[in-house]
Amino acid sequence: MRILIAPDKFKGSLTAREVADNIAVGLREVLPDAKIDIMPMADGGEGTAEVISDALGGKWLTMSAHDARGREIEARYAYIDDRKLAVMEMSEAAGMRRLQPNEYDVDLANTVGVGEMILEAPRHGAREIIIGLGGSATNDGGFGMARALGFRFFEQEKELTGSVSELLGLASIKVPSLSLPKIIAAADVRNVLLGEDGATRMFGPQKGATPDQIEILERVLTRLADMVARDLHVDFRDEPGAGAAGGLGFGLMSFCGAIVRPGFDVVAEAVGLEAKMKDADLVITGEGSLDRQTLEGKTPAGVARLARKLGKRVYAIVGRASEDRPARELFDGVYELTQPGMSEQESIANAGKLLRARGRELVAALRETLNAQRSTSNAE
């Protein structure tokens, strides 16, 4: 039997590689002769650069940049020399992981560091950039990134270089002469820029935005989109993914000519997932939480849909799973780490051991099913 293990990370617990390795250990305890292929996956969120870099033999480059609150940091991105491809994550500079909870402020947080990273990549020869859009601490529509790239924003004669709310008075945008590599933005959400499903109203609260800030920032991004349409002659506010990373999807399309694509598709193509899956008899995927959001472009859904297209059985091993039927029905079986009487904290602390145990359970149950099928066939 040939088994492909292609999970995402378990956020706050294990990387995608660690998840896959632990599942593989459990499988081998029951099926020592199985051929097991490991392909860690991501969907544009944190871990995307590592997954692509590991699959393609990239190296890590470091540089000086600024975090979302303007502090100088050392940021890194992956570079695949033979493809002249840079792979980065916006969260490396402007992510929530760079901040303490008491530092969350969507009015002051900006994406300047993302622009600095984009400018750095072609200096090392990059002709293409893949940038993951998950984990942002920002809601600036790419305002900071654009300023780092040389765009200038004015309220009459006053240049706007401070808080995001200053853009309420935006009157004009000065466009620089700029030459950038091809940019593919990998988004794990398909939200538009504005409205109830937009960047601010959907994701602002989890970044600490108050109700008053949400109203102001919705007006800010509307004003930004209006001025971009007038001065840059493009309007991407209603494009899927425009609302990703606090509107950075919109900013990348508007200021960089980027293409925003579903993150899972970008990663799957980069690492050659379909070719690897064609050789498998069985596919196992997973993530920390299986729920309705899984259907919105998350790794397990992408793996399951590709497996179905290729006629493969597909199973999920997850931290926990909701009772959402559409999510569960994507798989031939779902195995949860968290068991009755076990707290979520216990599950996280013992994730490696539990992944190995669920791997054993999965293949043991599968072996029983196969034996039963053989018995029935022989009897006939």
Q: Looking at the whole model, is its pTM more than 0.75?
A: yes
Q: Assign 238 to helix, strand or coil.
A: coil
Q: How far apart are CA 299 and CA 144, in angstroms?
A: 29
380 vs 217, more confident? 217
Q: How far apart are CA 352 and CA 147, in angstroms?
A: 44
Q: Quick one: which H or E segment has residue 353?
A: helix 351-379
pLDDT recorded at residue 342: 83
pLDDT band at residue 380 under the 50/70/90 scheme: low
pLDDT band at residue 351 under the 50/70/90 scheme: very high
Q: How far apart are CA 159 and CA 154, in angstroms?
A: 4
36 vs 322, more confident? 36
pLDDT recorded at residue 24: 97
Q: Assign 187 to helix, strand or coil.
A: strand
**Is pLDDT of 314 > 50?**
yes
pLDDT band at residue 331 under the 50/70/90 scheme: very high
Name all domains of the chain by residue range, CATH numbers in brackets.
2-40+281-379 (3.40.50.10350), 48-264 (3.90.1510.10)
pLDDT recorded at residue 372: 55
Comparing CA positions, the residue from 162, 170, 169, 70 lying closest to residue 116 is: 70
**Is pLDDT of 375 > 80?**
no
3-state helix, strand, coil in the chain (%, to 5): 45, 20, 35
Report the mean per-residue pLDDT for the chain: 93
**Is pLDDT of 284 > 60?**
yes
Q: How far apart are CA 147 and CA 90, in angstroms?
A: 16
Q: How far apart are CA 286 and CA 288, in angstroms?
A: 7
**Under a CB-based contact definition with an 8 Å cutoff, are residues 128 and 181 in contact?**
yes
Q: What are the tens digits of pLDDT across the range 287-303?
A: 999 888 888 889 999 99
pLDDT band at residue 377 under the 50/70/90 scheme: very low
**Is pLDDT of 326 > 90?**
no
Q: What are the tens digits of pLDDT across the range 129-185?
A: 999 999 999 999 999 999 999 999 999 999 999 999 999 999 999 999 999 999 999
Token couple for 317: 């091993």
Mean pLDDT, residues 311-332 taken together: 91
Cα–Cα distances (Å) from 250 to 121, 177, 180, 224, in that order, read 21, 20, 17, 10
Q: Put residue 7 in one of left, alpha, beta given phi > 0 → left and psi -120 to 50 → alpha.
A: beta
Comparing CA positions, the residue from 340, 304, 299 lying closest to residue 320 is: 340
**Under a CB-based contact definition with an 8 Å cutoff, are residues 6 and 43 in contact?**
no
**Is pLDDT of 378 > 60?**
no
pLDDT recorded at residue 370: 57
340 vs 37, more confident? 37
